[in-house]
């Protein structure tokens, strides 16, 4: 056996297998030591050239003796040793995102919406804060008794990653707070300055290491390092701008709360201002936009927040964004490039979406090679009412097009330069058949989108449905993301959601088949089966959303789950309502035919009579079920027709039944507040409310666990009737439904 001290002198060609093994072991130790010195201690102990030489020798030996490559080979590591990933942290108060505004009108509407919601007149004072929107990643810091005990990334808003050790290395983040509430979660943005970003990339280049595309990626990559010593070596900063769980209020206003955070030792943004209305917000926006280039860090817009925290509390949240704040984004960055081709993607609901294939171009620091072209009308230069867009200019393959990115959204094609159009460019012929399954692609009246009619036989639809099924807001199965499910589909292991739950039975024997697959080891295969089993018990609203039915998003799924409580009750109503949904479709078709006939005959169309004739044939049970369904606030005819007809389709229904058989669908237990006097009760609001708006009343009732319905039926428990209540109050009286006025309601919920 050669001595390990001497193998380093042997030329690679001259190494025998034993020597190579010894040399690979030596190199792995030496490189780990060099990595630690560089990343953890910020004290490189060898030169970059020496490091590169070790790296090259390691790679060359691995190339000559591939079967001797070590499991912990330095060639597989970036910076430091791999760990098992971050543990998960459930946020006590969800970390939300912001809705976006792009122009002055959006800001006026933001103010209008808030006034309407709060029932404030146009001249009542309503102040906002305005502050830069930092382009980094959000972080929640939990302090208990003044000590930093946990730092977590946003993750999906409900559960983030535990990055406490990493956060402790950031000098802007205090480890100890003096005079803070006993529990305090401070939220803000981790970011990297321009100067630090350039220096980091230069350092990376010297070591032939990965380059970061922009400061935000660099900040994210640096914070999410499994080895905290790497994070320490990266110059991260932190601005505090919000809070989560707190045991005592930080102030009465946003401004006071931010001042308090500053007193506690956090960096807050000096460009924060108090504004008395939309015009002042826009003025401040202009000021920040001007300062943007000289700030030294990236911002992508300005955030406006209602200043009064009591009002913030009343305004509350939509499903993922607060009503009391908005992000006013900077205009998108633009670039011109050549359109090389148009690809058609087929989505979950069969929509054929045209995607521009572009000559790669840098837009706002990111290389863009694809952009959306929306739909066939957009390519033709028409909007969905047939009006002109881009002055009616169509887009052709070979054209020079203008591309833009707004925030994180997918790049879009905005304009076309006709002076550069090649002579042989042809108008784009939108496909009339699905490129994936060749079924007819049909565009229905009133739909901007052409859709594949292949349903589940279309591989693209089936695959997109599966990806939706495993997405975060749906089944969210650990270890089974879009990539894995796509692979399973391609290999024929999983055709529909139910197949995921029979994977273990079909392929799990001894786990051999899954284990033998690339990328799946013993542990990961076992973990996957366990993760799948963990999701058999699923909340009704998640289950409903996961089905991927058109128009049934998270909010509608939540509304339906709250109203019906469990799957048997819901499916019974949907089945009963079947004939009504079909009659809606028939009535739509008859209406189109009647309009055409009337136009031809030069008479007025008889729309109501046409619809009524069809409606009259629907049986009363179907009508009652339909009324109950569409009586739910937020569920209109469009959602109801889509939901009911999807479940009537034989193949779709059979697929759902197979899935249901694998699951334990949990009844909805939304009332976080089961001890409230209205939990589980169905409430209808009618007439004018004087102390709050209808939207606020609804949001409050739901927060207390009530179901809010739009119409009175035998299922209604309570009618809240303000002045001017009409037919609903009469119907409630007929049915013997308890009725309260607004004050009675406020007293009942303890808000008077
Ligand atoms: S407030 C409940 N203020 O923007 C809302 N967010 O697009 C709490 N962000 O997730 C967010 N600068 O990561 C707020 N001054 C600022 C911000 C800011 C950047 C980020 C934050 C948020 C995202 C939403």
pLDDT tens-digit readout, 622-648: 988 998 898 887 788 889 999 999 999
Is the predicted pLDDT of residue 405 greater than 80, yes or no? no
User: Does position 51 have pLDDT exceeding 60, yes or no?
Assistant: yes
DSSP string covering 271-316 = T-EEESSHHHHHHHHHHHHHHGGGSSS-EEEEEEEESBHHHHHHH-
Contact by Cβ (8 Å): 157, 320: yes
Higher-pLDDT residue of 252 and 509 is 252
Say how far apart CA 543 and CA 560 lie, in whole Å.
11
* 283 or 596, greater pLDDT: 283
Residue 589: pLDDT above 90? no
Q: How many domains does the chain have?
A: 4
User: Do 593 and 724 lie in a common domain?
Assistant: no
In this structure, the answer to whether residues 172 and 310 fall within a common structural domain is yes
Q: What is the pLDDT of residues 601-613, one digit of tens each?
A: 988 888 888 888 8
Q: Does 7 reside within a domain?
A: no
Is 59 domain-assigned? no
For residue 97, the CA-to-ligand 1 centroid distance in Å is: 6
Averaged pLDDT for residues 332-354: 92
pLDDT in tens, 139-184: 999 999 999 999 999 988 888 899 999 999 999 999 999 999 999 9
In this structure, the answer to whether residues 698 and 634 fall within a common structural domain is no
- Residue 406 scores a pLDDT above 70: no
**What is the DSSP pairing of strand 88-90 with strand 137-144?**
unpaired
Ligand 1 interacting residues, C-beta cut-off 6 A: 96-98, 131, 133-134, 138, 189, 241-242, 303, 322, 325, 327
Nearest CA to ligand 1 atom 22: 97
DSSP 213: S
Q: What CATH number has the domain bearing residue 730?
A: 3.40.50.10190
Does 396 reside within a domain? no
Q: List CB contacts of 655: < 8 A, sequence separation 6 or more.
A: 456, 496, 497, 498
Going from the Cα of 606 to the center of ligand 1, the distance in angstroms, rounded, reads 52
- The residues near 662 (Cβ < 8 Å, ≥ 6 apart) are 498, 501, 502, 536
Distance of CA 441 to CAs 436, 468, 480, Å? 11, 22, 31
Say if residue 254 is in the same domain as residue 139.
Answer: yes
Q: Is the pLDDT of residue 674 over 70?
A: no
Q: Are residues 612 and 528 in the same domain?
A: no
DSSP reduced 3-state for 547: coil
Tell me the chain's radius of gyration from C-alpha atoms. 30
Q: Is 216 domain-assigned?
A: yes
- Tell me which residue range forms the domain holding 192: 88-327
Do residues 322 and 261 both lie within one domain?
yes
pLDDT at 362: 80
CA-proximal residue: ligand 1, atom 10 (nearest): 97
Q: State both tokens at 319.
A: 């499903």
Whether residue 124 lies inside any domain: the answer is yes
How far is the centre of ligand 1, averaged over its atoms, from the C-alpha of 705 (Å)? Answer: 29
- Write the CATH number for 495: 1.10.150.20
Q: What is the DSSP letter of 563?
A: H
Q: Which residues are marked as active site?
A: 133
Is 346 contained in some domain?
no
Helix (H), strand (E) at residue 701: helix 694-703
Phi, psi of 414 (to 5 degrees): -100, -45
CATH number of the domain to which 93 belongs: 3.30.470.30
Interatomic CA distance for residues 712 and 707, integer angstroms: 12
Whether 506 is covered by a domain: the verdict is yes
Residues 529 and 566 in one domain: no
DSSP, res 330:
P
Ligand 1 center to residue 542 CA distance, Å?
26
Residue with tokens 């597989």: 76
Same domain (yes/no): 491, 562: no
Q: Do residues 577 and 629 make contact, with C-beta atoms less than 8 angstroms apart?
A: yes
Same domain, 605 and 713: no
Most confident of 38-47, 62-71, 636-645: 636-645
Which pLDDT score is estimated for 684?
92
pTM of the model as a whole: 0.58
- pLDDT surpasses 50 at 4: no
**Which residue from 160, 242, 303 has its CB within 8 A of the most atoms of ligand 1, so it is best to mutate?**
303
CA angle, corner 142, sides to 136 and 147, nearest 5? Answer: 120
Tracing tokens 């939540």 back to the chain, one arrives at 558
pLDDT over 70 at 44, yes or no: no
Helix, strand, coil tally for the chain in percent (to 5)? 45, 20, 40
Looking at 58-67, 224-233, 696-705, which range is the least confident one? 696-705
Same-domain pairing of 552 and 523: no
Model pLDDT, residue 37:
57
Decide which of 608, 639, 666 is a domain's last residue.
Answer: 666
pLDDT attached to residue 80:
36
Percentage with pLDDT > 90 across the chain: 53
Atom of ligand 1 nearest to the CA of 100: 7
For 285-303, what is the mean pLDDT? 92
Mean pLDDT, residues 692-706:
81
Q: Same structural domain for residues 627 and 545?
A: yes
Residues in contact with 193: Cβ distance below 8 Å, sequence separation at least 6, in sequence order: 215, 235, 237, 296, 297
Can you read off the two tokens belonging to residue 454?
């292949």
| Band (447; pLDDT cuts 50, 70, 90) | confident
Query: Checking phi first, is residue 185 left (phi over 0); if not, alpha (psi -120 to 50) or beta?
Result: beta
Q: Comparing 407 with 743, which gets the higher pLDDT?
A: 743
Per residue in 76-104, pLDDT (tens digit) is: 654 433 234 788 899 999 998 899 998 99
* Per-residue model confidence (pLDDT) at position 78: 44
Of 668, 461, 471, nearest to 561 (Cα)? Answer: 668
Res. 573: pLDDT tops 60: yes
What pLDDT is attached to residue 527?
Answer: 87
User: What digits encode the pLDDT tens for the residues 190-218?
Assistant: 999 999 999 999 998 888 888 887 888 89
Residue nearest to atom 23 of ligand 1 (CA): 97
Residue 367 lies in a domain: no
Q: Which of 85, 86, 75, 83 is nearest to 209 (CA)?
A: 75
Contact 390, 399 (CB under 8 A): no
Is residue 133 classed as helix, strand or coil in its secondary structure?
Answer: strand
Residues 546 and 578 grouped into a single domain: yes
Task: Please give the C-alpha separations between residue 512 and each of 411, 469, 522, 532, 746, in angstroms, as whole numbers.
Answer: 43, 26, 9, 18, 62
Under a CB-based contact definition with an 8 Å cutoff, are residues 72 and 24 in contact?
A: no
- The Cα angle at residue 217 between residues 211 and 220, in degrees rounded to 5: 120
Q: What is the pLDDT of residues 516-551, one digit of tens each?
A: 666 677 677 788 889 999 999 999 999 999 999 999
Q: How far does the centroid of ligand 1 lie from the alpha carbon of residue 700, in Å?
A: 25
Most ligand 1 atoms within 8 A of CB, residue of 93, 98, 191, 321 to mutate: 98
């Amino acid at each position: 056996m050669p001595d390990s001290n001497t193998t380093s002198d042997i030329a690679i060609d001259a190494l025998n297998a034993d020597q190579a093994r010894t040399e690979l072991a030596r190199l792995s130790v030496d490189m780990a030591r060099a990595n630690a010195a560089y990343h953890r201690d910020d004290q490189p102990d060898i030169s970059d050239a020496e490091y590169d030489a070790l790296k090259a020798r390691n790679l060359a030996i691995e190339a000559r003796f591939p079967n001797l490559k070590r499991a912990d080979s330095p060639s597989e590591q970036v910076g430091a040793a791999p760990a098992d990933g971050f543990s998960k942290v459930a946020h006590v108060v969800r970390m939300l995102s912001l809705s976006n505004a792009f122009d002055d009108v959006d800001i006026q509407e933001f103010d209008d919406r808030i006034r309407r919601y709060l029932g404030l007149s146009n001249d009542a004072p309503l102040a906002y804060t305005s502050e830069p929107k930092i382009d980094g990643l959000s972080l929640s810091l939990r302090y208990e008794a003044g000590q930093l005990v946990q730092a977590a990334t946003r993750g999906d808003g409900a559960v983030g990653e535990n990055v406490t050790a990493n956060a402790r290395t950031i000098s802007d983040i205090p480890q100890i707070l003096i005079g803070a509430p006993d529990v305090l979660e401070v939220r803000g943005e981790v970011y990297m300055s321009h100067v630090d970003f350039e220096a980091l990339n230069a350092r990376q280049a010297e070591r032939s290491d990965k380059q970061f595309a922009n400061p935000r990626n660099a900040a994210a990559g640096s914070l999410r390092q499994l080895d905290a010593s790497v994070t320490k070596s990266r110059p991260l900063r932190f601005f505090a701008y919000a809070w989560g769980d707190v045991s005592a209020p930080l102030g009465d206003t946003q401004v006071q709360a931010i001042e308090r955070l500053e007193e506690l030792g956090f960096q807050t943004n000096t460009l924060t201002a108090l504004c008395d209305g939309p015009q002042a917000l826009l003025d401040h926006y202009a000021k920040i936009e001007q300062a943007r280039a000289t700030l030294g860090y990236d911002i992508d817009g300005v955030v406006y927040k209602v200043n009064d925290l009591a009002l913030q509390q009343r305004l509350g949240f939509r499903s993922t964004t607060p009503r009391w704040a908005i992000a006013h984004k900077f205009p998108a960055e633009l670039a011109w490039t050549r359109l090389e081709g148009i690809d058609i993607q087929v989505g979950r609901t069969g929509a054929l979406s045209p995607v521009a294939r572009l000559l790669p171009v840098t837009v706002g620091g990111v290389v863009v090679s694809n952009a959306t072209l929306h739909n066939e009308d957009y390519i033709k230069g028409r909007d969905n009412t047939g009006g002109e867009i881009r002055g009616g200019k169509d887009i052709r393959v070979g054209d020079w097009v203008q591309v833009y990115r707004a925030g994180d959204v997918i790049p879009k094609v905005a304009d076309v330069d006709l002076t550069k159009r090649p002579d042989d460019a042809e108008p784009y012929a939108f496909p009339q058949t699905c490129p994936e399954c060749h079924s007819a692609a049909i565009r229905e009246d009133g739909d901007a989108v052409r859709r594949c009619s292949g349903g589940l036989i279309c591989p693209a639809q089936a695959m997109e449905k599966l990806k939706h099924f495993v997405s975060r807001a749906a089944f969210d199965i650990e270890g089974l993301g879009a990539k894995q499910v796509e692979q399973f589909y391609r290999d024929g292991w999983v055709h529909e959601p139910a197949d995921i739950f029979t994977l273990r039975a079909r392929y799990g024997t001894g786990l051999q088949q899954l284990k033998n697959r690339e990328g799946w080891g013993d542990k990961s295969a076992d973990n996957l089966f366990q993760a799948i089993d963990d999701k058999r018990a699923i909340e009704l609203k998640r289950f409903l959303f996961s089905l991927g039915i058109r128009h049934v998003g998270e909010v509608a799924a939540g509304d339906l789950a709250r109203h019906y409580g469990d799957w048997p009750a819901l499916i019974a109503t949907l089945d009963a309502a079947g004939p009504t949904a079909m009659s809606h479709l028939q009535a739509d078709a008859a209406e189109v035919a009647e309009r055409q006939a009337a136009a031809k005959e030069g008479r007025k169309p008889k729309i109501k009579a046409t619809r009524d004739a069809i409606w009259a044939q629907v049986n009363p049970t179907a009508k009652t079920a339909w009324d109950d369904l569409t009586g739910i606030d937020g569920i209109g005819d469009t959602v109801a027709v889509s939901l009911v007809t999807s479940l009537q389709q034989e193949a779709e229904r059979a697929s759902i039944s197979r899935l249901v058989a694998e699951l334990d669908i949990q009844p909805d237990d939304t009332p976080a507040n089961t001890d409230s006097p209205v939990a589980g009760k169905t409430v209808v609001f009618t007439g004018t409310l004087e102390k709050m708006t209808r939207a606020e009343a609804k949001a409050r009732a739901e927060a207390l666990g009530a179901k809010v319905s739009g119409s009175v039926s035998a299922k209604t428990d309570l009618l809240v009737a303000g002045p001017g209540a009409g037919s609903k109050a009469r119907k409630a009286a007929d049915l013997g439904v308890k009725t309260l006025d607004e004050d009675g309601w406020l007293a009942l919920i303890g808000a008077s």
